[in-house]
Structures are given as structure tokens and as C-alpha cells.
């Protein structure tokens, strides 16, 4: 977009996700909040690139990861405007910020890795079209991620101030990296975990930004397999490695049993070509057994339960729907995710 007569400058107020190719005269990050430059799979951004601090109280000092920036790769380290003399690459992953005499700029965060966009359906709340959101309607979903207990023991700090009305529940997404096939993607190969919110259309969204594209800052060296966990549904893993190309990797577990490692032993056919995670695991052991009914569902049947794992349909009630629509259809199943 620079034909010798017209020079195009892009003023960017949002984030830059580097998944395309274009030419322009200049790109300026002109937002007022922290901004993100995301290099998908380490792809560089070439050309003239500037950070405008938008603060007017000199002296100025740009810092990279908390240290004064002083490199021939940049000009303007002690001015309001920082200019890159090299491509924006993984050599400078980290946080950039400008400090003035009495003020400081927003942060510019440069990250790299993979962007995933998972979609799933849960058997329990599935209604034939999408998933019910009764837990959200009744304000039963916690504002903090619930996977900080065994067997997950995930210590993430994902929280929200409120639960949107289209949210079904929390899920835990995990990436495993291995040089081998899916059978080698054991728990020892975990490289990233994140708690997400599950929308009623099956899309997983970042709890802070409510967006379905989820950025994972990891080096892509080998095969990456994605695992999805839920409190009372059996976990599943992708049957094949997810893509590390230039675009977000969309992976829909619901479109076929072949999408999950283990096939029909991992996903249940819910009709009309839709496959879902199997519900009925009240004791978190990733097996659906008689104990899930006798030890958890039976003692509580007929009672309102709030946010409990023995509410297999996720409607805030313990009743025959939990048993007949979910547990009886999955009895004897266990997760196919490698241990």
C-alpha cells in the first residue's frame, strides 16, 4: 500500500495479531490502554514501526522488561517516540514502557506462540441446539476458576467481576507438547494451562477479554495436543496436533467423534451429528461408575444443590434428569486422555 505516490500510515488503537502480509509506510500504536503485539508462531513484523508514549513530561526513558532500553536496534529510547530499526521479532519479547518525569505510558506487550480457538459441547446441559445456562441464570457459577482442587490443582488466578448470561460453566484448557503421537502426550508434557469460560454455543472465551481467540505464549518445537477438562464431564484431547500456522487454530470437538483421541470412547453422540464430552463424574476421578450415583447423586436427589459436581445437567437441581439423561448413558466410561 505504498505505490510511490501515496504513503499509508496505520494508526492502531487495538492489538496487532501478526497473521497476514501487507505493506505500508508506517504503523503507529496510538491506543490509550496496554496494547499487545502478538507474533503468531514467531512471525516477524518488518518495516517502520513506532511506539508513541503520549506523555509530555521529559526526560523520557523507554524500558524493556523493567530495564533501560539502550540498543542500536532502536532510536528514541530517551524520547516520547520509540522507533524500531529492526523487525519486530521474538528477539524482543517482553514489556515496553516509557517513563517521564512524573508520568508513564501504557505498556506495549510483545508475545509469541500459538492462538487457539476451541469449541466443545457438554452432554449434561446440551438441549439439542446449544447448552442451557441455568447456572448463570441462578448466579451459581463462581467468579473464580474452580480447578484449584485435586485432581487438577491448577493455581491460576482467572477471575471475573460477573458471569455473562450466555456462560455455561468454567473449563480448563491444557496444552501438551511432545515429539511423538497422542499416546505420548502425558501429564509430564504439559506446557500451558488456562481456565476459560464456556459459552452456550460451545466456544471457549478468555475470562478477562471475553474473546474466543486464546493466546498461549509457548515455543512451538514439537507436536501440540489440546486437552479440555470440566468438573463433572470426562476430559478429552485432540486426536491430532493442533496447527501452528499463521491463523488461529480452530478445533471443534463437537463435529465428529474422530476429533478426540479415543474416538467414540471419548465423546458421546448426542444426535444430529453433534458429539459432546461425557457427563456423570461426580467424584472428579475421570471415571463414571456406580459410586458417582450411590455416593453423590442418591444422597442429594430432590434437593437444590447449587454449584455441585453431582448436578450432571448443570441446572442447579439434583433430579432424575441427571441420572436418566446423563449418568445412565455414560456409565462405565473413562477419560481417554493419557495420564
pLDDT, position 222: 86
The dihedral region occupied by 124, where left means phi > 0, alpha psi between -120 and 50, and beta the remainder, is alpha
What is the spatial distance between Cα 237 and Cα 81, in angstroms, rounded to a whole number?
46
- Tell me how far apart the terminal alpha carbons of the chain are, to the nearest angstrom: 51
Rounded average pLDDT over 227-256:
90
What is the spatial distance between Cα 9 and Cα 2, in angstroms, rounded to a whole number?
10
Q: Which residue, among 38, 19, 40, 20, has the nearest Cα to 29 in the 3D structure?
A: 38
Please write the tens of the pLDDT for every residue from 128-166: 999 999 999 999 999 999 999 999 999 999 999 999 999
Percent of the chain with pLDDT strictly greater than 90:
68
C-alpha 150: how far from chain center? 21
- Concatenating the DSSP letter of every residue in 170-191 gives EEEEEEEEESS-GGG--GGGEE
pLDDT, position 213: 62
Look at the chain and count its residues: 339
What is the spatial distance between Cα 194 and Cα 202, in angstroms, rounded to a whole number?
17
Helix, strand, or coil (residue 265):
helix
58, three cell numbers: 521529559
Rounded average pLDDT over 86-109:
91
What is the spatial distance between Cα 168 and Cα 304, in angstroms, rounded to a whole number?
18
Please write the tens of the pLDDT for every residue from 283-326: 999 999 999 999 999 999 998 889 999 999 999 999 999 999 99
pLDDT, position 114: 80
Better-predicted residue by pLDDT, 152 or 249? 152
Please write the tens of the pLDDT for every residue from 173-219: 999 999 999 999 999 999 999 999 999 999 999 887 666 667 776 66
What is the spatial distance between Cα 138 and Cα 202, in angstroms, rounded to a whole number?
20
pTM over 0.85: no
- Domains observed in the chain: 9-113 (2.60.40.10), 120-330 (no CATH)
Residue 179's φ and ψ, nearest 5 degrees, are: -85, -15
Rounded average pLDDT over 207-235:
82
Pairing between β-strand 204-205 and β-strand 190-199 as defined by DSSP bridges? antiparallel
Report the mean per-residue pLDDT for the chain. Answer: 90
Burial 48-68 (b: 16+ CB within 10 A, else e): ebbbbbebeeeebbbbbeeee
Rounded average pLDDT over 218-222:
72
Amino acid at each position: 500500500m505504498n505505490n510511490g505516490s501515496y504513503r499509508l500510515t496505520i494508526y492502531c488503537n487495538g492489538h496487532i495479531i501478526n497473521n497476514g502480509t501487507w505493506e505500508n509506510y508506517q504503523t503507529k500504536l496510538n491506543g490509550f490502554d496496554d496494547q499487545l503485539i502478538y507474533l503468531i508462531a514467531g512471525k516477524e513484523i518488518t518495516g517502520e514501526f513506532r511506539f508513541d508514549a503520549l506523555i509530555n513530561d521529559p526526560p523520557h526513558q523507554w524500558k524493556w522488561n523493567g530495564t533501560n532500553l539502550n540498543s542500536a536496534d532502536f532510536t528514541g529510547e530517551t524520547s516520547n517516540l520509540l522507533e524500531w530499526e529492526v523487525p519486530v521479532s521474538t528477539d524482543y519479547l517482553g514489556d515496553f514502557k516509557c517513563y517521564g518525569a512524573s508520568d508513564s505510558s501504557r505498556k506495549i506487550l510483545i508475545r509469541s506462540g500459538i492462538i487457539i480457538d476451541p469449541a466443545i459441547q457438554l452432554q449434561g446441559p446440551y438441549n439439542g441446539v446449544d447448552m442451557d445456562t441455568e447456572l448463570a441464570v441462578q448466579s451459581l457459577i463462581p467468579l473464580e476458576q474452580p480447578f484449584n482442587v485435586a485432581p487438577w490443582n491448577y493455581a491460576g488466578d482467572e477471575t471475573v467481576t460477573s458471569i455473562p448470561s450466555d456462560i455455561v460453566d468454567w473449563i480448563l484448557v491444557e496444552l501438551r507438547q511432545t515429539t511423538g503421537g497422542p499416546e505420548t502426550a502425558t501429564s509430564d508434557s504439559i506446557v500451558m494451562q488456562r481456565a476459560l469460560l464456556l459459552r452456550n454455543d460451545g466456544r471457549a472465551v478468555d475470562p478477562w477479554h471475553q474473546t474466543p481467540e486464546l493466546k498461549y505464549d509457548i515455543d512451538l518445537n514439537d507436536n501440540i495436543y489440546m486437552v479440555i477438562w470440566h468438573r463433572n464431564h470426562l476430559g478429552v484431547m485432540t486426536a491430532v496436533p493442533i496447527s501452528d500456522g499463521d491463523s488461529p487454530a480452530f478445533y471443534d470437538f463437537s463435529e465428529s467423534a474422530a476429533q478426540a483421541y479415543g474416538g467414540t470412547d471419548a465423546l458421546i453422540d448426542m444426535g444430529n451429528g453433534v458429539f459432546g464430552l461425557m457427563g456423570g463424574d461426580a467424584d472428579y476421578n475421570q471415571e463414571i461408575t456406580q459410586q458417582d450415583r450411590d455416593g453423590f447423586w442418591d444422597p442429594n436427589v430432590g434437593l437444590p444443590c447449587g454449584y455441585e459436581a453431582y448436578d450432571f445437567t448443570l441446572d442447579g437441581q439434583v433430579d432424575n434428569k441427571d441420572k436418566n439423561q446423563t449418568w445412565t448413558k455414560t456409565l462405565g466410561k473413562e477419560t481417554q486422555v493419557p495420564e
